[in-house]
Structure 1
Amino acid sequence: MGTTDSGLQETTGPIALIRGFLAGGATGVALAGMVSGVVLERVPLLLLGAGLQVVTVTVLLIVDSWIKARRGKPVTRTALALIEDLRAIGGESANVPVRFDLTVVPDDRSAYRVTTSQSVNLVDLPTYRPQGMIVVEYRPDEPWEVEIVTRPAPEWARRVETEKADSAPESSRVAAPVRSRAGCFGGLVGLVIGAVVVVLLFRGELFADDGPAGSKPSSSSSTTFSSSTTVSGPTSSMLDIGRMRDTAESLTARVGTPTVADLTIDEHRMAVSGEAGGPQDGMHAVDLRTLPYELFPGLVREARNTLGVRDPGAWRIDVEPASGERALTIRVSVTGGGAKASLEADAQGRITKRHPN
């Protein structure tokens, strides 16, 4: 490649490959960081990813401005051109975009064919016709960059009236080269690598749960266990159809037993705890397999609407195991505006008590 087109060298080849790789890598890290922050509910990680994305875009804009400043103002020359064909390509305003097929006839080089688009005022549109002569400006280093001169100097206006040109052969047609192929390839590779690096860093937390919901790592010891699962996404809720039962089955598989001492559920989280050597016959324990999860959303709605709490923004379900003569109890609490109320239901989801505000 010659040395006369430094801008082309800067946007193709190894430089473009490296630039694209670095930009893609930073973007991959930023996007994966934001997604991981949402899934893991870590606001600092989400903000870090968003900040890195902003920095990446800012740096790219600065680099582009520096390249344009280094190239300086492009050199243009004036020439006559023959209109081979023209076609309006849209627009309903006073200025209509038109695609021109031209034969450009420079004074110091051979004529060549080129296609260019330019907006033309509706008043001036009849002056452009096939086989008509016009004045254009072109760039010697990038001859495909052509602009029609709507108000040429008197000398060129006289030449338009007196001179004619022959059509250049189709083999002389020039077009802008594909400059971004190397940069796109480098950007794609960098994007994938950057995202993979972040996922590998947080793989333990991102993939700790095999169930349908997002997860957090469970903790256990030789005598007791506790585990929780958090649904992912800002619009996901434990009240979604089938979500509670699916999550309960996931927790059962994780802790290795369906009987637990405590079960709590709120908008985005289900948690259980118990004793590893605890009772397996279900006495004085909560059996996750037998609870009426499909009725829980209705109990939450009932608590929100009938217990006198204004704007009940938060809710919680506590399932308390049977103790002595007391049967298993499902307690639904709602809070809002500094107030709190609750109701109780039995193992079949029937409301037995209300504790209004």
Structure 2
Amino acid sequence: MAGAALATVTVGVILEDIPVSAVGGGALALLILLAVLGGKRRPAGEGPPAGRLALARIEDLRATGGESADVPVRFRLTVAPEPGDARPAYRVKITQHINLADLPAYRPRGIAVVEYRPDKPWDVRIVTRPTPEWARRAEEAEIDSAPDSTLVSNPDVDEGSWCLLVLLAFLAGAVLVVLLFRGPLFTAEPDEDTPAKPPSSSSSSSSSSSRTFSTSTTVSGPGTSLLAFGRMRATATDLETRVETAYVTEVTIEEHRMAVRGDSTRPPTGTFHLQSLPYELLPGLVREARTTLGVRDPESWRIDITPGTGAGEGPRVRVTVSGEEGTAHLDADATARITDRRAVDGKGAVDGKG
């Protein structure tokens, strides 16, 4: 319970949830109050339980430390109950504080007067001030050592085990609370100031020395043609963000789709910068191709942009149109100046018209 209460307070602080913190704090305060009241109800200074007197042989003893007049001594005893108790002699280990002045009176193989409880034979204490009768009996008695197999101990959980159980219960309560709030704790909320990244339809392969990539995006709906002013450049910027580079080897543009490809192994002359293309002039090239290349009712068009072949030459632009008459295309340079035409009749011409 204490672990759950403390974990609830911690979770409430992390999540900035005042009700959760209040519940955890209240439960923790209640547990502390109950522990204090329970401690006050325990009788203070309660003496050892009443028992029966017997003689015991000191098998071994060892002082375990202490700087006061009474030092803790660990005894290993053979307790010999009185014949009327109908119990054979048995071994027991106890620790008892003995005054330094009395310590020489206890020695291995010596006899001491002890008090024990028949119902709890491990609960034994040495009587440091026995009556004259029991003192005389201790001086005259001889007790044989009981075998080690007769050693008795408290069958209840010892103090160390209690500590372990309390720790496990504490951790279990804390884990339970964290599991209950795992959603808010471990689900990161996007920053409102950070725009959501558009879904990527790219496919890429990479290694430590090279990387090829390709990605595309499709626009749909009325008025979403890439021929609309500004639409091509905005789409190119989006694709640049996806591939995390502006240098590509190929760009393909259709009515509602734009795709880019790239290869990091290509030299600079084998690529071109996405933002260097004259997107605002490309719709004019499409209109030119649809009206001047002999395709009376074009069904589709496509723009293919690739790097130039010569040194210092910019990207090459090819606009292809298709219809019932066939396929035709025109070529242009990086400034959208037409450099070649191929009509459906197969005739070509160099044109400086832009």
Question: TM-score under structure 1 normalisation?
Answer: 0.46
- Which is higher, the Rg of structure 1 or of structure 2? 2
- Higher relative contact order, structure no. (Cα contacts within 8 Å, ≥ 6 residues apart): 1
TM-score, normalization by structure 2:
0.46
